[in-house]
Amino acid sequence: MSHPFDLTGKVAAVTGANTGIGQAIALALASAGADIACVCRGESAEIVAQVAARGRRGAAIVADLSSSAPAERIVAETVERLGQLDILVNNAGTIRRGAAVELTEDDWDAVVDTNLRTAFFLSQAAARQMIAAGCGGRIINVASMLSFQGGIRVASYTASKSGLAGLTKALANEWAPLGITVNAIAPGYIATNNTAALRSDVERERGILDRIPAGRWGEPGDIGGAAVFLASDAAAYVQGHVLAVDGGWLAR
């Protein structure tokens, strides 16, 4: 008898699956039984091999998510190669740091287009497929602590991640009656490429660690369990929620 977190027979598409949080989520979902479409801009042979090592099918889908143009192709290719699409994880993202008075339109657009625009149109394409298949589905967005806070020198990133939290709720309202859950995970301060600049700044890092009750930076693997939960039947009645996985940062 399967348990409520069992994803056997499900297919998940995970964007940015070749590194960091995306890789951790892809492997957690595979370990729970899902086959994985690994959506990456570049090399993805390693993550596909790691999925296969867990006894699941993995498919590499190459896409540049700085534009929403590949959205429909990603969904179509996932269905063509793995047979269906049950779970979408919008993880791919980018960040540009700098003073707000110096932020260019190109910097703004690069961040908002990847983090918010593409996430919406990929969710739209996935929802259309899920509705047509008649089996419902799960959409999981990767938000941020800056979905709740303003941050420092990251105006476009904060705008995009705050927008993603709002979008999560809006889509949940529309698609819940169709059997599609839409939720988000808000990682705390995780040791990834995106936080390398913070971790290299001794004063800034100390200020961050002093506020985290857990007393450490998170690891990408810390996010995997939350993704499995939101993708599974255990979260069938969870809608429009932004789940913070932050070592207690927001509680402080």
Residue 138 placed within a domain? yes
pLDDT score of 15: 98
Ramachandran quadrant class, 151 (left: phi over 0; alpha: psi -120 to 50; beta: rest): left
Rounded to an integer, what is the distance from CA 55 to the centroid of its chain? 23
CATH of residue 223: 3.40.50.720
Instruction: Please enumerate in sequence order all residues whose Cβ is within 8 A of that of 220, keeping only pairs 6 or more positions apart, or say none.
Output: 20, 21, 23, 24, 190, 191, 192
Residue 103 · residue 77 · CB < 8 Å: no
Residue 250 lies in a domain: no
- What per-residue confidence (pLDDT) applies to 198? 85
44 pLDDT band, cuts 50/70/90, is confident
**What is the band of 194 on the pLDDT scale with cuts at 50, 70, 90?**
confident
Query: Residue 41 burial by CB count (10 A; 0-12/13-18/19+): exposed, middle or buried?
Result: middle
Which amino acid type is present at position 16?
A: G
**5 within some domain:** no
Confidence band for 196, pLDDT divided at 50, 70 and 90: confident
pLDDT, the chain, mean: 96
Q: What pLDDT, on the 0 to 100 scale, is given for residue 118?
A: 98
pLDDT over 80 at 59, yes or no: yes
What confidence category does residue 71 fall into, taking pLDDT thresholds of 50, 70 and 90? very high
Q: Is the pLDDT of residue 2 over 90?
A: no
Whether the per-residue pLDDT at 22 is higher than 70: the answer is: yes
Q: How many domains does the chain have?
A: 1
Rama region for 161: left / alpha / beta (φ>0; ψ in -120 to 50; rest) = alpha
* Better-predicted residue by pLDDT, 43 or 249: 249
In a domain, 60, yes or no: yes
Mean pLDDT, residues 224-244 taken together: 98
More confident residue, 167 or 44: 167
Examine the pLDDT at 209 and tell me if it is beyond 80. yes
114 found inside a domain = yes
251 found inside a domain: no
- The pLDDT tens digits for 107-121 are 999 999 999 999 999
Does residue 43 surpass a pLDDT of 90? no
Q: Are the C-beta atoms of 93 and 28 separated by less than 8 Å?
A: no
- Residue 1's pLDDT is 46
Q: Which of 139, 125, 146, 148 is nearest to 170 (CA)?
A: 139
88 pLDDT band (50/70/90 cuts)?
very high
pLDDT at site 79: 98
Angstrom distance (rounded) from CA 166 to CA 162: 6
In a domain, 61, yes or no: yes
Which range of residues forms the domain containing residue 108?
11-245
pTM reported for the whole predicted model: 0.96
pLDDT over 70 percentage in the chain: 100
Whether the pLDDT of residue 214 is over 50: the answer is yes
**Is 237 an active-site residue?**
no
pLDDT confidence of 160, banded at 50, 70, 90? very high
Give the rounded percent of residues in the chain with a pLDDT score beyond 90.
94
- State the catalytic residue, choosing from 120, 148, 157, 249: 157
Residue 213 identity = P
Mean pLDDT to the nearest integer, 121-136: 98
Q: How many helices (H) and strands (E) does the chain have?
A: 9, 7
CA distance 75 to 204: 40
The residues, ordered by sequence, that sit 6+ positions from 198 with a Cβ below 8 Å of its Cβ are: 189, 204, 205, 208
Residue 6 domain-assigned (yes or no): no
